[in-house]
Amino acid sequence: MADVQPGQRVLVHAAAGGVGHLAVQIAKARGAHVIGTASVGKHNLLHDLGIDEAVDYRSEAFEKVIEPVDLVLDLIGGEVAVRSLAILHPEGRLICMPSAAAAAAVAAAADRGLRATGMIVEPDGVGLESLSALVDDRRLRVLVAETFPLERASHAHRAGEFGHTTGKLVLTV
């Protein structure tokens, strides 16, 4: 959806999370310059994943230290989405993943003449094939934070709602 091109500057919020750590690697595989926000304890991990710049969102206002970007992949929503518009290139795009936050982000972008959109992930066999190829090439790896049997699904939900996962939470069926 973002159609990331080589050399583009891409900002991924929550870059060490379940979606973010994959987005970082996919954008790198497409030749982008990738910047990610995460608390400082996760920066080494992000560098291992190939990120170009890691920004500690807790100690500094990300929009003050990041140069303009072509794409923001917003995995937080709310004021993070709105603040991101300050560093979005006029021709750039913000993609807001938390569904409940997307409408406000799209409206805030429209007020400034910028492009923003929400999205809902859908089953995509062709996309999965290209991701498999990246895995085979060792350019994409999936970090697993924790694995839960299905009967402990409520524990998995609680872990996710905490909001500080590194990588994916997995349910085994």
Q: Stretches 2-10, 109-117, 118-126, 135-143: which one binds ligand NAP (CB under 6 A)?
A: 118-126
Angle between helix 125-136 and helix 20-29 axes, rounded to 10 deg: 80
DSSP class per residue in 151-172: GGHHHHHHHHHHS---SEEEEE
The residue among 110 and 170 lying less far from ligand NAP, judged by its C-beta, is: 170
- 12 binding ligand NAP? (CB under 6 A): no
Q: Are strands 69-74 and 53-56 parallel, antiparallel or unpaired?
A: unpaired
Task: Please list, in sequence order, all residues whose beta carbon lies within 8 angstroms of the beta carbon of residue 135, skipping any fewer than 6 positions away.
Answer: 141, 142
The residue among 113 and 125 lying less far from ligand NAP, judged by its C-beta, is: 125
Task: Show contacts with ligand NAP in window 139-158 (CB under 6 A).
Answer: none
* CB half-sphere exposure, 104, CA atoms < 13 A: 14
Q: How many CB atoms lie within 10 A of CB 140?
A: 20
Task: Please list, in sequence order, all residues whose beta carbon lies within 8 angstroms of the beta carbon of residue 5, skipping any fewer than 6 positions away.
Answer: 30, 31, 32
Q: How far is the CB of 21 from ligand NAP (least distance, A)?
A: 8
Binding ligand NAP (rule: CB under 6 A), the pick from 11, 17, 88, 131 is 17
Interface size with ligand NAP, residues (CB under 6 A):
26
Q: How far is the CB of 40 from ligand NAP (least distance, A)?
A: 8
Q: How far is the CB of 38 from ligand NAP (least distance, A)?
A: 4
Name the CA dihedral angle for 103, 82, 66, 163, rounded to a multiple of 10 degrees: -70
**Residues in contact with ligand NAP, shown as a per-residue x/- string from 74 to 113 under the rule CB under 6 A:** -xx---x----------------xxx--------------
Residues that bind ligand NAP (CB under 6 A): 13-14, 16-20, 37-39, 42, 57, 75-76, 80, 97-99, 119-121, 160, 163-166
